[in-house]
Structure 1
Amino acid sequence: MKFIPVLTALIVLAGLYMVVFERDTLVGFAQSAPAENTVQSADGAVADDVAETGESLVGVVATHSVARTIDSAVILRGRTEAARQVTVASETSGLVISEPRRKGAFINEGELLCSLDPGTREASLAEARARRAEAQARVPEAQANVIEANARIREAEINLNAAQRLSEDGFASETRLVSAQAAMESATASLQRARSGVASAQAGIESAQAAVAFAAREIDKLTITAPFSGLLETDTAELGALMQPGTPCATIIQLNEIKLVGFVPEADVSKVNLGAMAGARLTNGERAQGRVTFLSRSADDLTRTFRVEVTVANDDLAISDGQTAEILIASEGRTAHLVAQSSLTLDDDGVLGVRTIADGNMVQFMPVTILRDTAEGVWVTDLPEAIDIITVGQEFVVEGVQVRPTFTEAKG
């Protein structure tokens, strides 16, 4: 007999036995096995869910930042401007008789720039002086006429009084009294004419003096001098050139003091005060320092900005007129956080800010205002005194999401 058919027969008999005689036990076993498997599967699912939840938290890197007080500054883009600049022009006509001075030369205050041909002006001055002397000579004669007229009046008063008394007593005729009265009126008229002569003589003197002053002033205009010390920006008028009133002789600029000129936006004008310290960095690397000496109280109609001027010493004349400058004006200190520029992000509305970690490791977006951009990072305000700022991974999370943070040290 073969072994395999016998084994198969025994297995079949055992199965029949269980189905026929142990049916209840087989059904109970069949129902209990799936329950156990179900429990095991449920436990495994819970474990998988727990593992899956732990793995779904996004890992981010955050920094615990504490606000610090920094010196705030208003940063402007501007230019340098000469403290004074003037184009000296002629006030009269004439030919230039002086040698020209070349541009770039240093000119002291009162130094000759252009000299004009006097022409007949000296003769006009001499004539005016002669007329003044003639007018002055008429004054004594007019004053003598006044004295003579006063004497005649006194004589006429005596005669008139005598004639009145004699006429009252009947010793003089009416004709004599009338004659005395006429003499008195004539003497009074002579006095008035004499006094008019004195006034006319005085007027003649004043007119002659005005003519002398005018002629002398015309001669003074022939010499054009520097109103202040500075550098010649242009050549002076060439020898032989014809000058007319208003014709430029030369342009002078003063650079021993120079102005830094910028324009402050409306939002920052309240941060700028007269006398505040200010510095500037020029395009050639030069640095300058001074104080705010002017702040406009009227905004530009087009740009709505306010002109501000900073006066800087420039004794060595190293700074030229018209250079581009970056101007920093000191203002009151403010508390701010120093964060990496890469930490800044935008929300859905385009508002600039940072994402932070709130209670329960929940992400929160907070808007910020940039105060200053430096090589170490960006100084921002409008944040609490102490805050946890996400520096890595902030672009992969949104507000209200729970994260798994790793903290690093804040920037120095």
Structure 2
Amino acid sequence: MTEHQTDGPKPLSFENDHGSTRSRWVAGGLAVAIVGWMGSGFVLPSKDAGNTAKTPATPRAVSVAVRRSVAETVAQVFAAEGQALPDRDTPIRAKTSGQIGEVLVEKGADLAEDQVIARFDIAARQSDLDRAQQELARAQREYDNAAALVERGVATVDRVAQARATLAAAQASMTTATEAVANTEIRAPFAGRLESLDINEGEYVTMGDDVGRIVDNTPLTIRIQIPQQSLRDIKVGQTADVAFITGATGKGVVRFVSTSADAETRTFMAEIEVSNTDGAIPAGISAQLRIPTGELTAHFVSPAILSLDTDGTLGIKIVNDKDIVEFHKVRIVRAQTDGIWVSGLPKEAQIISIGQGFVNDGQTVSPKPEDEAEPLATRREVTQ
């Protein structure tokens, strides 16, 4: 008893127990079963797994609405805005100095060519004219007498030459006096409307002063600026449709096209002549011009269907006969209030009218007629 206590306590041991090794076998069996189950997929792959690997899932084609469009022949038109200018616009100047004796017309009058507008007081000039006439008559008599005496041998040739010189001087004085009297009448240089008149009876006017302004607006001239890229389309002789801001319309003809660009705007000036026989269209008002420049085939579409590719190119998406989306670069050739005309598409095209923003070039789609556009849009919003 004393010896057993000296050795101390001993640990418990179950090796001799009949159930002590059972748990180890159970744990080992479970581990083997799990490893075998996990590896069974590699050794014996299932039929479903093999079919899935061989047949990848096919994405569903996007539905789009299309509209059939056929190209039409459309006239190309160059449009511009300009100002109606009179054919002639000239100040009226006094040709002499003096006091205005009478004014015969009023501002705003329609004048004929060479019509008298006003007259200076001609009392002094009339006296000069009468004196010149008398001096001319005297010089003429002296010359005639000298010539007769020479024929009879009484007078010398020198006397005739002197008489001829005196006669020439008298004729010059007569011409000057006649012109001075004529210049006392202020006349219209051409037929037109008297836009301003700045003189009154009794007023003193100096030679060269502007006393009025006359305008001839038959015909009118519309002056426009042509961009560089449109210069080749505008030629002398082309016709133009003109619409004035007053509501009046007319036909015009291109009379002049500049061959030198403006240094600041890089545009070329052109002038279009518009007949205005009755003068009903006033000068100075704004006008819009449309000049036909040719014809081409184009499609009429809504601006809403225009798209931009990745490079920012303007175009339209269509669907070909294989239901594949094609992006075509287009050019706007004419614009109207209800749509635009574009070139660059095939003659006949299935244009994507709804859904162009959800598809790309080269993508297969499921096109539907445009009359199904409403349900299409709804389904697209739901699926996405």
2:92 aligned with 1:92: no
- C-alpha offsets along residues 327-372 of structure 1, whole Å, 9 cap, x if unaligned? 1112222222222212223333433332333564443333322221
Shift of 1:247: 1.4
Retained in 2: the 8 A contact 1:86–1:253?
yes
Match of 1:40 among 35, 48, 51: 48
Shift of 1:319: 2.2
2:211 aligned with 1:249: yes
Shift of 1:92: 0.9
So what's the TM-score if we normalise by structure 2? 0.75
Change (3 A) 1:72 1:139: same
* Aligned counterparts of 2:121 and 2:127: Cα–Cα separation in 1: 13
1:338 alignment partner in structure 2: 300
Match of 1:202 among 164, 168, 178: 164
Indicate the RMSD between aligned Cα atoms, in angstroms. Answer: 3.4
Change (3 A) 1:144 1:96: closer
Retained in 1: the 8 A contact 2:353–2:370?
no
Retained in 1: the 8 A contact 2:100–2:118?
yes
2:336 aligned with 1:374: yes
- C-alpha offsets along residues 143-195 of structure 1, whole Å, 9 cap, x if unaligned? 3565577x9xxxxxxxxxxxxxxxxxxxxxxxxxxxxxxxxxxxxxx9xx72x
1:295 alignment partner in structure 2: 257
Secondary structure, in 3 states, of the residue corresponding to 2:196?
A: coil
Retained in 2: the 8 A contact 1:263–1:305?
yes
Retained in 2: the 8 A contact 1:101–1:236?
no
2:82 aligned with 1:49: no
So what's the TM-score if we normalise by structure 1? 0.70
Change (3 A) 1:344 1:284: farther
Change (3 A) 1:331 1:221: same
- C-alpha offsets along residues 89-114 of structure 1, whole Å, 9 cap, x if unaligned? 11111112224744333333333322
* Aligned counterparts of 2:256 and 2:202: Cα–Cα separation in 1: 43
Mapping 1:72-221, distance limit 5 Å: 72-99=76-103, 101-143=105-147, 146-147=150-151, 194=157, 197-221=159-183
Change (3 A) 1:364 1:123: same
1:260 alignment partner in structure 2: 222
Retained in 2: the 8 A contact 1:100–1:239?
no
Identify, as 1 or 2, the structure richer in strand: 2
- C-alpha offsets along residues 76-130 of structure 1, whole Å, 9 cap, x if unaligned? 1112122322221111111122247443333333333222112421122222223
Shift of 1:60: 2.8
Aligned residue type for 2:197: D
Secondary structure, in 3 states, of the residue corresponding to 1:320?
A: coil
Shift of 1:326: 1.3
Retained in 2: the 8 A contact 1:113–1:250?
no
* Aligned counterparts of 1:333 and 1:369: Cα–Cα separation in 2: 14
1:238 alignment partner in structure 2: 200
Retained in 2: the 8 A contact 1:233–1:251?
yes
Retained in 1: the 8 A contact 2:104–2:116?
no
Change (3 A) 1:142 1:368: farther
Match of 2:63 among 39, 59, 62: 59
Which shows bigger deviation, 74-83 or 103-112?
Answer: 103-112
Aligned residue type for 2:238: A
* Aligned counterparts of 1:408 and 1:198: Cα–Cα separation in 2: 109
Aligned residue type for 1:338: F
Report which structure shows greater RCO (CA 8 Å, sep ≥6).
1
* Aligned counterparts of 2:345 and 2:176: Cα–Cα separation in 1: 74
2:288 aligned with 1:280: no
Aligned residue type for 1:217: E
1:389 alignment partner in structure 2: 351
* Aligned counterparts of 2:159 and 2:305: Cα–Cα separation in 1: 97
Count of residue pairs the alignment pairs up: 337
- C-alpha offsets along residues 222-248 of structure 1, whole Å, 9 cap, x if unaligned? 111223333222234122222112212
Unpaired stretches in structure 2, ≥5 consecutive residues? 1-28, 30-35, 372-384
* Aligned counterparts of 1:405 and 1:60: Cα–Cα separation in 2: 5
